[in-house]
Chains A and B, each alone.
Chain A
Amino acid sequence: MPNAIQLHQVSKAYGDTQAVNNLDLNIAAGSVYGLLGPNGSGKTTTLRMIMNILMPDHGEIQIFGRPAGRKEQDQIGYLPEERGLYSKMKILDQLTYFGELKNVPRAEARRRGQYWLQRLELSDWVDKKVIELSKGMQQKLQFAVTLLADPPILILDELTSGLDPVNASLVREVLLELRGQGKTILFSTHRLEDAERLCDSICLIARGRKLLDGDLQQIRAGFGKQTVRIEFTGEAQWLHQAPGVRKTDLFDSYAELQLQSADAAPEVVRFLAPRVNIRKFEILVPSLDEIFLTTVAAAQTSAARSEQEPAYVH
């Protein structure tokens, strides 16, 4: 089966600004994929190109193996970061309209609209205009607009921003159900706890370039095992003398050891066990937050360094 979404060497510039730079993405059908990156990293541009709203300057984009275009657009439900609804249109009319634009017959679009309004707890507002809804309700309505045509691919940009915890969990519940139905979900966010909870794979981009890409567990594993948290009683000086330790940070009730490599952990245990009283020894799994911050920071330093080099070196 071809990938749901595939980008090959895609680039896009606005004037002198390179928004996306030779980006490759492979998003398997049925996966939940997180596209992460700081503000201005090229996420929205990438999504717009996948949606065929913007044309890439170079490179190829394929949806289920076919070049992205008008027809492929209809296979994707797109929730842009900047929400947009017709403020003076009644909400069921609005749902029906956007459904029709995605090729759902009118009566069917209306029926599905009613279903989603009920599901997202908006039924009481059927005859209201959008302008009368609270911001959170508008968010949910926008989500319903995205889902109405029941497309195989969903692109959700900052899905849960602006939702209170109750509504956020309602939306997440729907999302899990959609994943269960085998939909491909491309999730763009800089709220990492969402990505952590939902995504199988992630891609981290900054300044239009890919910094990390792959299975979330593997990425974590790659980043982890180098930090050990240890709770102990005894002489702290032994920690400094442990072999394979790059750096030691002592806190009130515990210490964090940065190892030179992941393999050093058993050695550290063997060295410390006879010398101090270990109450807890834990190999830390880095949070996505840390991965994000470290990787982006590293990329920025290297980018800054390369900018200082004279141009003819390239």
Chain B
Amino acid sequence: MQRRQLLKNIAGASTCIGASSLLMSVPFAVNAKIVNKNQIDPLANIKTSFADALKDNPSLLGLKNTANNFAHQQLTIEGKLPKDLTGVFYRNGPAKYEQGNQRYSHQFEGDGMINSFTFANGNIVHQGKFVETTKFVQEQQQNKFLYSGPLSDIKNSRKVTQADTVNTANINVIPVDDEIWALWESGSATALDATTLATKRRVNLGANSQYGDKLKGLAFSAHPKIEANGDIWNFGLSLSGHVALYQLSSKGLMKNVGIINARYRGKMLHDFLITHKHILLILPSLTSQADRSHSNLKLFASIEYDSKQPMRVLVIDKQTLTLKKQYELDAGFAFHFGNAWEENDGTIHFDASINDNFKVMDELSEIMSGTAKNLDQNSPHTALFTLKPNGGTTKVVVDGDSEFPRVYDHLVGQRNKTLYTLSHTQSQFWRDTVCCLNMDSGKKDTFIYGDEFIAEEHIIISNTAKEGDGYLLGTALHIPSKRTCLNIFSANNLKGGPICRAWLPYHLPLGLHGNFKAS
């Protein structure tokens, strides 16, 4: 079993929390560089260490704390903005890393901010607003952290009586009816006004349905899959190892709910897949201590990668939400999957941005103190899996690294021939390359931003249901000028470079995931 020593070192003792996946308890954050044996607050050390590191390493810019919302700002456009690209591009990600003299010890702990880019009348206008979760509002009022996070230990932390108490709404954002939902993965979605980005309410998943309040507070993952018919499929992990499965209408009304006892002990499950017939829960080779309530380990430090534990795939019928088949794959860990589809004979294909370790969690902690030097040593790669009806499986590894896989919206759960990802080429720090993999030929169409840029997730926008049409859209942080730019590519010609680039006069915090709502 591979011990993730860094996060364990980062841990001290303290309260323990115990229930929905991403959140809960925390240890003292201290890594080798910033250990202080005196009674200095480790989170204050992290803040000081990061500020020092930023002076020597401008690449850390995107991980600086964001203090305030961003007012409306029109972008400066280079190149030609396509006329058929109208709507709003929403992105989410952690942005509030610091309160008072403390800084969180893991990137995933930061409070979420929604950034929107509105394409209208030949212009692009940006605004950014923090999701005003209960936690965020309380902590802003007092200018200090009140709750321990999944790794950071806050002295005299208030008790976390339910997962939503520490919901940071910081991973993804999807349009739902006339709202947008900011997504976390261990608790409720948060509904926001799609125009003003004002926070409206914590979403009660069963509202106006037969389920009433029975779904209140259940985990709702940050990676729902939206079928071409508009149905929203998602899951939520309970720390007990059970997984709730949801089918909602395009308006966010719950249609069907099921619960599977996945007997999964990994405590973290970030993404999943659907085909036209089935849900795939792909359980990585993670495990954790049996009962953290009797341990001092915080959630992130309690999760371990076990190279002897196969990944498991649970194949669940979408109509009945019952388990139909299970497969075992080589040990592995993946945050993200691109797509799955199914042949007439029941053969299932899917891709994963997969790794043989869980060190990324350590890196995303080290980077908070600015001590991470090189983040590409443990970057995942694309693997293409086939699950045969007779129980057999195949795995094909694609050369090069990959993360943030995306496919065309109309092909979610259907056969896709292209897969768009991010990877490293010149940058040793973060990702600087966008790539389109042709799944049939194996050929790649790539554009290298270069090591002056940090490229974030890129998404596909198309007004047609034809692969190759439309655009690839994504943000990148230009380190020398300290500005964020929005880049638009022809989806079938990445190597030609952006056909349009639009600049903000400042930089945004590096985010995670986003989606586009066409108008």
Q: Does B bind A?
A: no
Interface residues of A (CB under 8 A from B): none
Interface residues of B (CB under 8 A from A): none
